[in-house]
Amino acid sequence: MTAHKIIEKKKNGEKIVTITSYDYSFAKIVDDCGIDLILVGDSLSMVILGYKNTLAVTMEEMLHHTKAVSRGVSNAMIVADMPFLSYKINVHEAVRNAGRFIQEGGAEAVKVEGGKKICPTIEAMIDADIQVMGHIGLTPQAIYEFGGFLVQGKTIEAAKKLILDAKSLEKSGAFSIVLESIP
């Protein structure tokens, strides 16, 4: 599966089946079931490693789990979640870190959180031949900004911002967008 095939399925009105996996065994099982896309989520910080939020997981830990998932997959597209501070310091570092997920981790794409402000970084990644999935709404890496795991986009202004962010991500070249905890 590729980003282009995911887009094609969307255009054809076909369902896209996605799941999160953190290890070889589960990735192999879900890949054998015909899953289209597997996200190696930074949620492994809490679910697997026992941290209190997603901010603690490192590039090396995410790479380790992405490698494990990629060894169990032969059909599904693998998207690696870029951890906190791995892509917002500067564009050069973001592209290099994203490239590590492709080159070392075996992912076909990366996922980044954020709206319009992250678009120049997404464009740079795509210029480096790295496919990108966006993520808006509740973005767990901004948990302290939001004051917790809260639904986003409840007011008219917030909903309009989400729409603007989604359109900006699409324009920047993101092949898909995670919409988390929105009405």
CA 65 to chain centre: 14
CA distance 153 to 135: 14
Four-point Cα dihedral 137, 133, 99, 126, nearest 10: -110
Looking only at the bridges linking them, the beta strands covering 37-40 and 18-20 are parallel
Q: Report in angstroms the alpha-carbon separations of 36 from 7, 75, 96, 98, 158.
A: 12, 8, 26, 21, 31
Known catalytic residue at 157? no
- 46 Rama class: left (phi>0) / alpha (psi -120 to 50) / beta: alpha
Q: Give the residue numbers marked as catalytic.
A: 180
